[in-house]
Amino acid sequence: MPATRKRRTSVPPIEPLAFSPTPTRPLRAKLRRLAAATRIEPHSHPWAQVAMSATGVIRMQAGRNTYLVPPTRALWIPPGVEHVVTVVEDAEIRTLYVHPSARFLGAEGETPFQRWPECRVLEVSPLLRELVAHLDTAPGSGSADEREACLAALILDELRRAAPVRLGIALPDDKRLRQLCEAVLEAPARWSTLEQWSREVGASPRTLARLFRSELGTSFVQWRQQVLLSHAVTLAARKLPMATIAAELGYASASAFTAMVRRTLGAPPTQFFA
């Protein structure tokens, strides 16, 4: 029996222009606390954004991809990319806005925009988390003071050092396949086969398999594995044991889940979810 979904509440973004980054203040921070099932309406910015969750899990949809972002991860979104935020769990969302003039320390003038021309999931180190937590989140204009300038430089340096994570779930345009993908994202362990999931949308498994190939360039099994890995990251952020994570995702044992992670990522879960 499918789980009852909590009704979503849509809210607009908080006056992004009040937090506009400038050449004299290239990094701006914003804080927002939202309840689960809240959806921030589609929007974009002329500057880049780093989305983080200090507590709770958020889902970011940017372009044709969706990303689950727990406190151990951050999402870089380039300028002009429309995105939607859905709060999966009650969350404290910390957003960084990055001006095009921002440069990495000691990187020969390299910019975040050169390094990440597309959306990218990054690991959040304990130092990065603390630095962001101490950045001023008050709206308004003006230049950065000495303390904020130092924090901003260190944050950019930590972002430069952050390891990229191969997470990101492609979403299709086809209405039937999109409905199925959204259902899997909501509860990936509900069913394990395409035949079972096909009943959710009233299309044949053969038709859906063809759509996965033509729209997303992958199989259902491979696509669902990416969903499971994204959910595993959110569970690992709660410090749950590997056996519990495996069970939550529908695996009969921790070893079976470990084998899937090794096949998909070429590394054991202990390394990937560290």
Last residue in a domain, options 138, 165, 192: 165
Beta carbons within 10 angstroms of residue 212's beta carbon? 24
Q: Is residue 3 part of a domain?
A: no
Looking at the structure, do residues 241 and 146 belong to the same domain, yes or no? Answer: no
Last residue in a domain, options 165, 196, 218: 165
Looking at the structure, do residues 260 and 161 belong to the same domain, yes or no? Answer: no
Q: Is the pLDDT of residue 274 over 80?
A: no
| Residue-wise pLDDT tens digits, 205-233 | 999 999 999 999 999 999 999 999 999 98
Number of domains the chain is built from? 2
Q: Is residue 240 part of a domain?
A: yes
Average pLDDT over residues 41-62: 94
How far is it, in rounded angstroms, from Cα 48 to Cα 54?
A: 19
Segment among 54-63, 194-203, 260-269 with least mean pLDDT: 260-269
Q: Is the pLDDT of residue 2 over 50?
A: no
| Cα distances (angstroms) measured from residue 182 to each of 5, 70, 200 | 12, 19, 11
Average pLDDT over residues 231-255: 90
Tell me the CATH number at 58: 2.60.120.10
List alpha helices for 1-71, DSSP H: none
Looking at the structure, do residues 216 and 161 belong to the same domain, yes or no? Answer: no
Looking at the structure, do residues 20 and 146 belong to the same domain, yes or no? Answer: yes
Looking at the structure, do residues 154 and 236 belong to the same domain, yes or no? Answer: no
Residue written as tokens 């999966």?
88
| Residue-wise pLDDT tens digits, 158-180 | 999 998 887 789 999 999 999 99
Q: Note down the domain range covering 149.
A: 9-165
Last residue in a domain, options 113, 137, 165: 165
Tell me the CATH number at 246: 1.10.10.60
pLDDT in the model for residue 202? 87
**How buried is 145 (Cβ within 10 angstroms: 0-12 exposed, 13-18 middle, 19+ buried)?**
exposed
How far is it, in rounded angstroms, from Cα 59 to Cα 80?
A: 19
Looking at the structure, do residues 178 and 242 belong to the same domain, yes or no? Answer: yes
